[in-house]
Structure 1
């Protein structure tokens, strides 16, 4: 009888403890869900060491870090596309922390249309190079794309630079970097030439300097990419983080490629479309940007995402201004 009472009491205690544990889990889940719903993300925690925001946590406006004594926390800031090392305190209360940056695109307004990105006009008399989207790249085998030239029957693509010298004739207006040729080397500048032909005669050409990222910076970016991939984020979250990492070094081509891959995978995340619109606008492709902003607006409205809806509508206005003569 005595043993039976002990067992009964022990079972009762275990039930109480189990109920209390389940309650704590439910409260934590509700708190986490509420935080995600009310958060307009401004960055992500990349390292451990904080008491309340573990590695991989999203950062919201007004968040504060509470690292262990003497430690700093590495964060990726979406707002200024910087990787920061911060100590105790708010993450966004001063200019050297996670705060929005002022970029030229933000100055594109009806009153300051001259500040809008200049479009790479399609239908021109020259095969204007579209991709690589900027002169600085990380990918040693970049895809090449250019605007068509009226009356052109073929194009010649030419790469020249240290250790690289090859050309190819194509009828399309895009070409993957040949796998049979040597890749571009870090820290090296190359000349990319596109010649438009009519029959056997060249009619026009475009040139672009393509600069590979220096070795030391390449190693830093590669290390950050591996760190983000180790977080096991969703594909959309990872793409957003990689976009910020690439743009921290003005790697517009690599940023566009990682975002476009998610759009091609038919994501329904409005942030991805809006960010791709931003990048297209920066690359001088306002018509492509407009399509992304329209899609982002529709998805944001369906998801009742007021922040993304406002951002995509602002981008849409800028893309239309940039297309006006």
Structure 2
């Protein structure tokens, strides 16, 4: 972060960022230290993002270190070397690449998968509770068809990708994705919007947004954010390191290695 977002160092390690109005002692955007005391203005519910455990605290009074105590949210599901349910990238398989990770927020996700040598076309099948759609195409990208119904919150879906050579299946793979509960999705989007409204550049709050997205293991949201900054030439070594880590967690170590070689 630059000096504007980092502010004058008041402690060794900042614990949280206040990202909405309504606190008596601090302005939105302030990085908070463990001994800082947050006190909501009467009738307000200021929100702060705990950087150590990925939790959002709303409308509470107390010492920041105490409010942000506890284990990281979803620590078990998503670890350093991968996320449960995100193992993809098997060699020789038309593995789903995008959306990354097992947890989604989008109800109409576009799909991208690995090309298979010799394949003439692919068949995409998506199955869930009271949901079954399929489409055949020659490309390795499917923009979510307008004619398809949207996926539903809190449901799981199997995405089968079959590679054909003429009329013969030469390879196939399956990915399973889960949509968040609707209230979780709304909260994530509202909090992300509030963070983006802070008087800083998107690059300067990218770590905060990544922390927020990973509170629900939203690898796809985090990777989209970090890739977008990189494509615009607005990334930095810290964000590239985070992006490489997210690729690994999504099951694509080769993408992480390519990124590291390019830096």
With the length of structure 1 as denominator, give the TM-score of the two structures.
Answer: 0.65
Matched, 1:231 2:198: yes
Asked if residue 54 in structure 1 is aligned to residue 27 in structure 2, the reply is yes
Which among 215, 230, 233 is matched to residue 182 of structure 2?
215
- In 2, distance between residues paired with 1:171 and 1:36? 55
Q: Secondary structure at the match of 2:65?
A: coil
3-state SS in 2 of match to 1:150: coil
Contact 1:277 1:289 in 2 (8 A): yes
- Mark the structure with the bigger radius of gyration: 1
**Bigger relative CO (Cα 8 Å, ≥ 6 apart):** 2
Over the aligned positions, Cα root-mean-square deviation in angstroms equals 3.7
Change (3 A) 1:186 1:32: closer
Deviation at 1:279, TM superposition (A): 1.0
Distance in structure 2 (CA, Å) of the matches to 1:44 and 1:32: 10
Query: Using a 3 Å threshold, how does the CA distance of structure 1 residues 218 and 192 change in structure 2: closer, same or farther?
Result: same
Quick check: 1:137–1:210 contact (8 Å CA) kept in 2?
Answer: yes
Identify which of 75, 78, 88 aligns with 1:120: 88
Structure 1 CA distance, aligned partners of 2:20 and 2:206?
18
CA distance 1:162–1:99, shift in 2 (3 Å): closer
Q: Which has the higher helix share?
A: 1
Q: Match for residue 162 of structure 2?
A: 195
Does 1:65 find its partner at 2:37? yes
C-alpha distance after superposition, 1:285-317 (max 9, x if no partner): 11212344456xx6xxxxxxxxxxxxxxxxxxx
Q: Is the 8 A contact 1:160 1:192 kept in 2?
A: yes
Residues 33 and 259 of structure 1: is their aligned pair in 2 closer, same or farther, counting only changes over 3 Å?
Answer: closer
Query: Per the alignment, do residues 45 and 154 of structure 1 end up closer, same or farther by CA in structure 2, a change over 3 Å counting?
Result: same
- SS class of match (2:146): coil
Report SS of the residue matched to 1:253: helix
1:166 and 1:149 mapped to 2: Cα distance?
22
Q: How many positions carry a matched residue from both structures? A: 257
Tell me, in whole angstroms, the C-alpha distance in 1 between the residues paired with 2:47 and 2:118. 54
Contact 2:108 2:151 in 1 (8 A): yes
Higher-strand-fraction structure: 2
Q: CA deviation at 1:177?
A: 1.7
SS in 2 for 1:157: strand
- Paired residue secondary structure (1:159): strand
